[in-house]
Each structure stands twice: as structure tokens, then as C-alpha cells.
Amino acid sequence: IVNVLHDRMTECRYLKPIESFDHGFRPENWFEVDVMKNGRAALEDVNKKL
């Protein structure tokens, strides 16, 4: 039931208690996708690049 209740995009499920929030990796740089100008094509293009 936990898999249904949490948002996988913004929340993590921990199977055992954590001791630190240090996860050991650096986040990637963010960037903007201009969907107002290029619509769906902008999303499809960035999806191919990722």
C-alpha cells in the first residue's frame, strides 16, 4: 500500500531507518524547457537528449 500512497517524483521510501540525508552524489544542473514556445516538440526533444 505504501507504493500507492507516496509520490515517486518527490518522495523516497526507506526500507530501513536512515542515519543521514547525505546520499553521496551531486544533483545534475537544471535547465529550462520552453513548452510555451515549442509545445510538445520541446518535451520530445529534451527527452531524446536525456
User: Residue 43's pLDDT band (boundaries 50, 70, 90)?
Assistant: very high
Q: Which of 37, 33, 29, 36 is nearest to 45 (CA)?
A: 33
Whole-model pTM: value is 0.47
Amino acid in the structure at residue 31: F
- Residue 44 pLDDT exceeds 80: yes
HEC letters along 1-50: CHHHHCCCCCCCCCCCCCCCCCCCCCCCCCCCCCHHHHHHHHHHHHHHHC
Q: Give residue-wise pLDDT tens across range 9-39.
A: 888 888 889 898 887 888 889 999 999 999 9
Give the residue, 6 or 50, on which the prediction is more confident: 50
